[in-house]
Structure 1
Amino acid sequence: MGISLQKGQKISLDKEAGSTLTRIVMGLGWDAGQSNKGGFLGGLFGGGGETSIDLDASCLLFDEAGNLVDAVWFRQLTSRDGSIHHTGDNRTGEGAGDDEQIQVNLQAIPGNVKSLVFTVNNYTSQDFSQVANAYCRILNGANNSEIARYDLSCQGNHTAMIMAKVYRHNNEWKMHAIGEVGQGRTFDQLLPQIQPHL
């Protein structure tokens, strides 16, 4: 079990993994929503069924100057250089374990890429307080052991989160847990908010 990340915390991925990391996986999981949370009122207004919740994991690649070089998300499942791959869009959150994964080969990331920023957006626009058991985590891709986890089950009216930045520093990959909430169905709506973290 990895460390539970707090907003703003910085960790060395190599140190947490116990060895030099060559591959990491960002996992995103959540449970299908229940629309009967309104109790009596929910029953009155036809609650009781499942609500469709579609969270989306994205990985954004930035260069030294903070320019967006590439993006891996549900509309582009593999980075142009082939170093990052998204396993596919899950639109319901059904099933156990990670509902979406982004697999990163750190050794194959082009030299001009300084940082990777992982985001989560709710494409169906419910705020995160309505999403059950939502989390994102970083795994060591070599053995699938969890390095770090961020629980998204925050109460609030936000529909997106800038999860973390993984960046090169002195020939080592480090991770900064950003944990900043925002609004937006897709990652591009978060770009102005991401810029100060680059």
Structure 2
Amino acid sequence: MPISLQKGQQISLAKEAGPSLQTVRMGLGWDAIKKKGFLGFGGGSVDVDLDANALMFDASGQLVDAVWFRQLQSKDGSVRHSGDNRTGAGDGDDETITVDLTRLPASVQTVVFSVNNYTGQNFSQVDNAYCRLVNTQGDQEIARFNLSVQGDHTAMILASLKRSGNDWTMTAIGTPRAGARTPTTCPTSAPTCKTDSGGMGCKARSGRANPYRPFPLTQRTVPSWLFPSRKAATSP
């Protein structure tokens, strides 16, 4: 039975999924916001675009690689993104990130999953938002984290996978972050454009520029307690 994770809770993947665990998938799901019409009829819906990210760190807390909508695969191919879902339409996971634990470089000690709301609504407004961790062998769900009850912010550090000998420990982090606005806009001639500004990206829909930029993909976005060695190195 999958565990419903609470903020700060840790689980051993080997204990929950068995020592033969090789590949896990982080699934992110949500629904469009339903608008209320007159007397409850004909309200329609508002699309929501959540973006899943995976950040890979070494033992000292330095960012090694990142997978997100602009880079759908890590440099070594061990981490893969399913692609950008911009509406939340359909059942089940809307975006997934698959991690082959057996192929991760030895230098990668921690994988951190984060999510940002590209369209800018806060999580309290988004219906049925969740993330879950799945053992791809048998498609068995290991743990789940409810995002829709997480408050009035637009980005979050979801969870981490950290090496522990031959095992991996998953920690539900649930640390909120605020998304950022940028004055940079995309050319209206392209249905999808991406501009690079310090690792950020921009998407434009239907010829309209969207000034919302994704969650920063840097080590500064991650709680320092995940990397005690980094904290010690920066202490006076």
TM-score normalised by the chain length of structure 2: 0.76
* 1:187 aligned to which of 208, 215, 230: 215
Provide the secondary structure at the position in 2 that maps to 1:24.
strand
Task: Quote the Cα distance in structure 1 between the aligned partners of 2:35 and 2:108.
Answer: 42
Task: Quote the Cα distance in structure 2 between the aligned partners of 1:85 and 1:168.
Answer: 19
Instruction: Report the RMSD for the aligned CA atoms in angstroms.
Output: 2.1
Offset of residue 21 of structure 1: 1.2
Whether 2:89 is the aligned partner of 1:61: answer no
* 1:48 aligned to which of 37, 43, 50: 43
Letter in 2 for 1:70: D
User: What whole-Å deviation, never above 9, does each CA across 1:50-92 have from its counterpart, x for those lacking one?
Assistant: 1121001111000111111110011100000100100111000
Q: Which has the larger radius of gyration?
A: 2
TM-score normalised by the chain length of structure 1: 0.91
Task: Quote the Cα distance in structure 2 between the aligned partners of 1:155 and 1:147.
Answer: 21
Task: Quote the Cα distance in structure 1 between the aligned partners of 2:48 and 2:8.
Answer: 27
Identity across aligned pairs (percent)?
A: 56
Letter in 1 for 2:99: V
Task: Quote the Cα distance in structure 1 between the aligned partners of 2:170 and 2:150.
Answer: 25
Task: Quote the Cα distance in structure 2 between the aligned partners of 1:92 and 1:62.
Answer: 30
In structure 1, runs of 5+ residues without a counterpart are none
* 1:149 aligned to which of 137, 144, 151: 144
The structure in which a higher percent of residues are strand is: 1
Give 2:33's aligned residue.
33
* 1:128 aligned to which of 123, 129, 151: 123
- Distance verdict in 2 for CA 1:109–1:164, change over 3 Å: same
* 1:86 aligned to which of 81, 100, 103: 81
Residue-pair matches, total: 193
Offset of residue 143 of structure 1: 1.4
Give 1:117's aligned residue.
112
Task: Quote the Cα distance in structure 2 between the aligned partners of 1:141 and 1:18.
Answer: 12
Using CA pairs below 8 Å that are at least 6 residues apart, which structure has the higher relative contact order?
1
User: What whole-Å deviation, never above 9, does each CA across 1:16-60 have from its counterpart, x for those lacking one?
Assistant: 1133310000000001112338x88x99xxx92311210011110
Offset of residue 195 of structure 1: 4.1
Letter in 1 for 2:28: L
Letter in 2 for 1:110: P
Offset of residue 169 of structure 1: 1.0
